[in-house]
Amino acid sequence: MAAETEYEPVIGLEIHVQLKTRTKMFCGCELSFGDPPNTHTCPRCLGLPGTLPVINAQAVHYGIMIGLALGSQIAARSQFHRKNYFYPDLPKGYQISQYDVPLCSGGRLGEVRIHRVHLEEDAAKLVHAGSSGRIHGAERSAVDFNRGGTPLAEIVTEPDLRSAEAAREWLTLLRTTLRAIGVSDVNMEEGSLRCDANVSLRPVGSSELGTKTELKNMNSFRFLAQGIRAEVERQTELLRSGRPVQQETLHFDPASGSLTPLRSKEEAHDYRYFPEPDLVPLEATAEMIDAARAQLPELPSARAERFAGALGLPAERARELAFRPELGDFFEVALAADAGAEPAALANWMQTLVERLGDGADPASSLVTPQAFASLVAMVSEKAISRDAGREVIELLVAEGGDPGTIVEREGLGAISADDDSLSAVVAAALAADPAAAEQVRSGNMKAMGPLVGYVMRETKGRADGGEINRLIREQLGL
């Protein structure tokens, strides 16, 4: 029997991002989330007869910012098209989108090449309304047009991803980048960030692309990874048993983790695109591009590189801070406080702080000031307090704020230094209390150090430095 073929997943993502403008893409209705149905509509976004779209300048501005952040080419002249299909959430019977000339082409984020970025309008929300009493036996739905017409940027990647985990990680980088430039809330649960995946397999070493399927409705990072993993497994099984992969769209069910094909119709993909005659072409002028560029902050990937390069942080730590801009900002202010803390130590202690604050919390809105944090870290680095005491001080800072020096004094958490006779006395007491352990250490079994150090730590309430205790034990045992 021949060895089974090894397959490699080839994954591309299509991401829809709701832009954080005040008003919709083509009308002046305010964007909303969670408001009562149909409270944000007008003749335009209801598709009333005779109405015409007018492009929101801010959406174009955000679109250009995204393009610049992803290193895309901004089209000197782009055009909107009509994408025709019937669905109740589409009031005009067509979606205004971009087709052959998108606003942005090419680019790269991290290891993934960007194919294009274009602007379009979001569909309305179709909610299932159950069986109607009024109309016998029929399942009813209702359309709420509040979301209809929200500006969207659609970002399409090249098929450069090779695993579910890589896809998830890259999407995190994209989200961080979009959040940092401030163009979107990028919240997957609320739908302001939506991600579809194109998945195909090919034999390892082959450069040809296999038949791909499109995965939809993976509305969290976890589901994205789950969905892709399930699809890679499904396709692997198909191919190994000699069956072909069908080109189709699959719907991810978060409850069961399974994928079901969407009903396909024979004309499913005949969108009959043609240039939108109600809109004139979009020319991205040098002024528009400069204005967008001027608003771009340092991008997360650049910041991570700077943290790792100039500040010498481990790559993983650098990304953790850079990919959550609020952490990166806090870290940088603390660093600038010049309290004498090393960048690496500050970065390590940021982790402790984040744990204490809880997931997703912004340290800037806590009681801990970057200055207090920086001086705490400096105290630990200078061995003015022990690491354990440092953790305790952080807890107190989170609870009540204030100055770490004052807290250390008040709580008596200052380190017992080696020159302090009292530490020698405690070490002597430890040796006396556990002569067996002392004997073992003397005869070279360093494992027996544990109970002795533990004794001293207990007696000093953690204020003594571990290295110092170690040194004193050896000294007193004559090693």
Partner 1 sequence: MSSDLLQLSAAQAAAAIRAGEIDATELFAFYRARAAADQLNAFTWVAEAAATAAPAGAPLAGVPVAVKDLFCTEGVPSQSGSRILEGYRPPYTATVVRRLAAAGAPLLGKTNQDEFAMGSSNENSAYGPVLNPWDRTRVPGGSSGGSAAAVAAGLAPWALGTDTGGSIRQPAAFSGIVGLKPTYGACSRYGMIAFASSLDQAGPLTRDVTDAALLLRHMVGRDANDSTSLELPEEIRLPRRGELHGVRLGVPEELTGSAGGIDSGVRASFEAALAQAQALGASIETCTLPHAPHALSAYYIIAPAEASANLARFDGVRYGLRVAGDTDLDTMYSRTRAQGFGAEVKRRIMLGTYALSSGYYDAYYGTAQRVRTRISEDFRTAFSAVDFIVTPTAPTTAFELGAKSHDPLAMYLNDFCTVPMSLAGIPAISIPCGLSDGLPVGLQLAGPAFSENALLDVAYAIEQALGFDGRPALSAGGAA
Partner 2 sequence: MLERHQVDHVARLARLELSDVEADRMATELSKILDHIEAIRSLDLAGVQPTSHVVDLVNALRADAPHGSLTPEQALAAAPEPTAAGFGVPSPGQGAE
Residues in touch with partner 2 (CB under 8 A):
21-23, 27-30, 36-43, 46, 54-60, 77, 79, 86-88, 126-129, 132, 138-145, 263, 266-267, 270, 272, 274-275, 277, 279-283, 285
Phi, psi angles (nearest 5°) of residue 155: -110, 125
Q: How far is CA 288 from CA 60, 77, 237, 269, in A?
A: 9, 12, 50, 35
Q: How many residues does the chain have?
A: 479
CB of 89 vs Zn ion, minimal distance in Å: 15
Contact mark string toward partner 1, 259..278, x via CB under 8 A: ----------xx-xxx--xx
Residue 330 binds to partner 1 (criterion: CB under 8 A): no
Report the residue from 3, 135, 255, 432 that binds partner 1 according to the rule CB under 8 A: 135
Report the distance separating Cα 333 and Cα 412, nearest Å. Answer: 28
Residue 279 binds to partner 1 (criterion: CB under 8 A): yes
Q: CB of 462 within 8 A of CB of 389?
A: yes
Handedness of CA 22, 23, 28, 34 (dihedral sign): negative
Q: Is 128 helix (H, G, I), strand (E, B) or coil?
A: strand
Judged by beta carbon distances under 5 to 8 A according to partner kind, the member of partner 2, Zn ion, partner 1, none in contact with residue 168 is: none
CB of 46 vs Zn ion, minimal distance in Å: 7
DSSP secondary structure of 243-304: PPPP--EEEEETTTTEEEEPPP-TTTT----EE-TTSPPB---HHHHHHHHHT----HHHHH
Judged by beta carbon distances under 5 to 8 A according to partner kind, the member of Zn ion, partner 1, partner 2, none in contact with residue 120 is: none
Residue 127 binds to partner 1 (criterion: CB under 8 A): no
CB of 61 vs partner 2, minimal distance in Å: 9
Report the distance separating Cα 142 and Cα 140, nearest Å. Answer: 7
Q: At what angle do helices 343-357 and 325-336 cross, to 10 degrees?
A: 130
Residue 94 binds to partner 1 (criterion: CB under 8 A): yes
Judged by beta carbon distances under 5 to 8 A according to partner kind, the member of Zn ion, partner 1, partner 2, none in contact with residue 58 is: partner 2
> Which positions touch Zn ion (CB under 5 A)?
27, 29, 42, 44-45
**Which CB sits closer to partner 2, 138 or 436?**
138
Residue 319 binds to partner 1 (criterion: CB under 8 A): no
Judged by beta carbon distances under 5 to 8 A according to partner kind, the member of Zn ion, partner 1, partner 2, none in contact with residue 82 is: partner 1
Q: CB of 431 within 8 A of CB of 452?
A: yes
Site residues (vs partner 1, CB under 8 A):
43, 46-55, 82, 84, 86, 88, 91-94, 135-136, 138, 143, 269-270, 272-274, 277-280
